[in-house]
Structure 1
């Protein structure tokens, strides 16, 4: 494994570690509250992080995604808890998915950062990815953005 690849995987561990600590610290009983000014809940944001990372690494590469079947319906882009008909997974279940992704990502992406995707993938924000590495690295930004949203929702709930 190259030094750069190891550095990127270490960064993944750091970013995901922040997410994993947060899902343990935040009380699950407040996870479905959607404060005024927000369209999604804390539970939705954690599930969305797990689903999108799975899609960015495995799904758009043409590989089998290893998240529960209902994650796309619950946590895909454009979804919201107000539309849920399924019972959402517990924090414990989402935490397990978040933790389990790390070793699978390392194994899959080893020496594949420059591998071309089967076809370029453009996300809802208009960003186009051509390689597995581009998509994976965008996941850090995406995860951090949703962690900030989780913090803002938590502060909003806690201040009341």
Structure 2
């Protein structure tokens, strides 16, 4: 069996995502962009159970999946999902000395990510996780439950 295209084209897909995210975040470097994307993914990951992490990771392109799962520990889990204010503050607090995130970062990363995933599959998994997950990634939860 040949190598799946998802892996053959992983770098190209990631570069496309990173370029779109850099533009949406109004940043100048790949490193700045990476930190904002990583922070957003990690803040979301902390709110998921192990099973939910695996379900969500499976919806992501290969390199983003690796970023999302890298360094994961079961001890990271936060039982309270929090609200948008919590998410924004936590995104800004990740690697604070190297982080260019602002209050718009989670929503802008979410908008770009939605353009780089299989959207119906992505939304279906978020529905299984719950309304807070839908809101985190920019879906109106009340209309879909």
What TM-score results when the alignment is normalised by the length of structure 1?
0.28
Whichever of the two has the greater Rg, that structure is: 1
Q: Hey, which of these two has a bigger chunk of helix by percent?
A: 2
Q: Hey, which of these two has a bigger chunk of strand by percent?
A: 1
What TM-score results when the alignment is normalised by the length of structure 2?
0.30
